[in-house]
Each structure stands twice: as structure tokens, then as C-alpha cells.
């Protein structure tokens, strides 16, 4: 099996096209007036897989669906991003992929898309969400997946936050979400030249607004970059 570095060397666009699927990538969940608003805190939503909802003390209405990297867990995403969420008032929901990573990274869109739709529906039912500040975000594989779902569902997601993504999965874009990219210049897992620098150029060719933060560091989400991304969404 090819590892990520080998995929990058082969040319990510061609590989992604081969893995892309005609399966639906559209999400039907939409923000609604919640029946009962969840007070500030951390909640484990009742699903067969782990799903963590974090509501900050001063929730602003800005909302992020946060997708973990390969082999990671939702709780790790909350730990990484909680401080940024508190400072910007961003509510986070973080689900778990069915496998070690998100379905379309290695195959076709399917079960994870349907699960995410259910997770969003549950979160929207208990959170006040500003429809003008709804983001999908992710780290590493989760960032690659977020860029695909975000561009395919630009009528839901107004913003996409991609921390150290690998490549673009071809989809039929809908809408024009704003894009925030970050990537470390010393990333040895997904080298920046073959990943985010290429991605930024391709997204701009789609006439999307791209904010790209390069930082001196490895494959990670630095706290200051997380704060910048969340403040960019929340303003």
C-alpha cells in the first residue's frame, strides 16, 4: 500500500481522481431554532461512534464541525482547540470516522458522509448557530476531507478551515465558501510544496477566497494558528 509521501510524489490530483466517487457528498442538515439550547460544557452525543460537542462559555453562534486526522480521536481535537474556541466563542462538534481515517481518503464517499449529516442534525438541534458562520474544519486527513465536503456543500458551510491538508479530492463545487489553510514549512508527513501550496493555487483557480498561513513547524496545529482560524470565522 502506498504511503502518503508516495501518493504526493505520484501526483495527488491524479490519485484523488482515481479514488473519487460519484456517491452523493451532499449534506441535508441545516441550522434550525434549537428545541433546548445546551448550556456551556462538553457533551458526548449519543451515537454508535464517539461524538464530542463543546459549547464555550460565551458562544457567539459561530460553529465548527471538526474532523480528526488519521488514527486520531474527537477528544484530541477538542483538547487542541478548546482555548481557541473559548476565546472566539466558537462551538465545536467533533465526530469519529468509521475507520482509521475518513472514507474518501482511501475509497469512496459514503458512510462517513451520512454519519456527519446525522451528527450535524443533532448538534443543530441543541445549539444556536449563525448561518453566516458555519465551518467545516479538519487536521491532516480530516483537513483533506473537510476541503472536499466544504466545497461540495458551500450552501451550508460558509467557511472551510484546513490545518495541514494533503490534497484536493475532486468534487462538484456548490457555493463559494471562504478557505483558511495552514501548513508547517517543516512538515515531513505532508510536505508543504506538494500539499498546501499546491492546494492554495488550485483553490484560487476555482475563484475561492483563500487565506494561507505558513508557519515554521512540523505537522501540527500551533495554538496561535488555531486562534487565528477561529477568530477569522467568528468575526
Q: Look at the chain and count its residues.
A: 235
Per-position pLDDT tens, the chain of length 235: 334 444 443 333 333 333 433 447 999 999 999 989 999 999 999 999 999 999 999 999 999 999 999 999 999 999 999 999 999 999 999 999 999 999 999 999 999 999 999 999 999 999 999 999 999 999 999 999 999 999 999 999 999 999 999 999 999 999 999 999 999 999 999 999 999 999 999 999 999 999 999 999 999 999 999 999 999 999 9
Residue 13 is predicted with a pLDDT of 36
| Secondary structure string (H, E, C) spanning the chain | CCCHHHHHHHCHHHHHHHHCCCCCCCCCCCCCCCCCCCCCEEEECCCCCCEEEEECCCCCCCEEEEECCCCCCHHHHHHHHHHHHHHHCCEEEEECCCCCCCHHHHCCCCHHHHHHHHHHHHHHCCCCCCCCCEEEEEECHHHHHHHHHHHHCCCCCCEEEEECCCCCCCCCCCCCCEEEEEEECCCCCCCHHHCHHHHHHHHHHCCCCEEEEEECCCCCCCHHHHHHHHHHHHC
Domains, the chain, in order of start with CATH, read 4-234 (3.40.50.1820)
Residue 158 is predicted with a pLDDT of 98
Q: What predicted TM-score, i.e. pTM, was given to this entire model?
A: 0.90
Give how far the C-alpha of residue 153 lies from the chain's centroid of Cα atoms, to the nearest Å. Answer: 12
Residue 8 is predicted with a pLDDT of 42
Residue 71 zone, left/alpha/beta (φ > 0; ψ -120 to 50; rest): left
- Name the phi and psi angles at 138, rounded to 5: -170, 165
Amino acid at each position: 500500500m502506498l504511503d502518503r509521501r508516495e501518493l504526493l510524489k505520484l501526483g495527488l490530483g491524479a490519485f484523488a481522481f482515481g479514488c473519487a466517487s460519484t456517491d452523493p457528498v451532499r449534506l441535508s442538515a441545516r441550522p434550525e431554532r434549537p428545541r433546548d439550547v445546551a448550556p456551556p460544557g462538553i457533551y458526548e452525543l449519543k451515537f454508535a461512534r464517539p461524538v464530542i460537542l463543546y459549547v464555550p462559555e460565551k458562544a457567539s453562534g459561530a460553529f465548527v464541525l471538526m474532523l480528526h486526522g488519521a488514527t486520531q480521536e474527537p477528544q484530541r481535537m477538542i483538547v487542541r482547540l478548546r482555548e481557541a474556541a473559548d476565546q472566539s466563542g466558537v462551538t465545536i462538534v467533533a465526530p469519529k470516522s468509521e475507520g482509521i481515517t475518513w472514507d474518501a481518503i482511501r475509497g469512496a464517499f459514503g458512510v462517513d458522509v451520512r454519519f456527519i449529516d446525522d451528527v450535524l442534525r443533532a448538534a443543530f438541534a441543541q445549539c444556536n448557530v449563525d448561518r453566516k458562520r458555519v465551518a467545516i474544519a479538519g487536521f491532516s486527513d480530516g483537513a483533506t476531507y473537510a476541503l472536499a465536503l466544504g466545497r461540495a456543500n458551500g450552501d451550508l458551510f460558509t467557511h472551510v478551515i484546513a490545518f495541514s491538508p494533503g490534497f484536493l479530492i475532486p468534487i462538484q463545487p456548490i457555493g463559494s465558501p471562504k478557505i483558511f489553510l495552514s501548513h508547517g514549512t517543516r512538515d515531513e508527513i505532508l510536505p508543504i510544496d506538494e500539499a498546501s501550496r499546491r492546494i492554495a493555487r488550485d483553490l484560487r483557480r476555482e475563484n475561492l477566497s483563500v487565506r494561507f498561513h505558513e508557519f515554521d513547524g512540523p505537522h501540527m496545529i500551533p495554538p496561535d494558528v488555531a486562534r487565528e482560524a477561529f477568530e477569522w470565522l467568528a468575526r
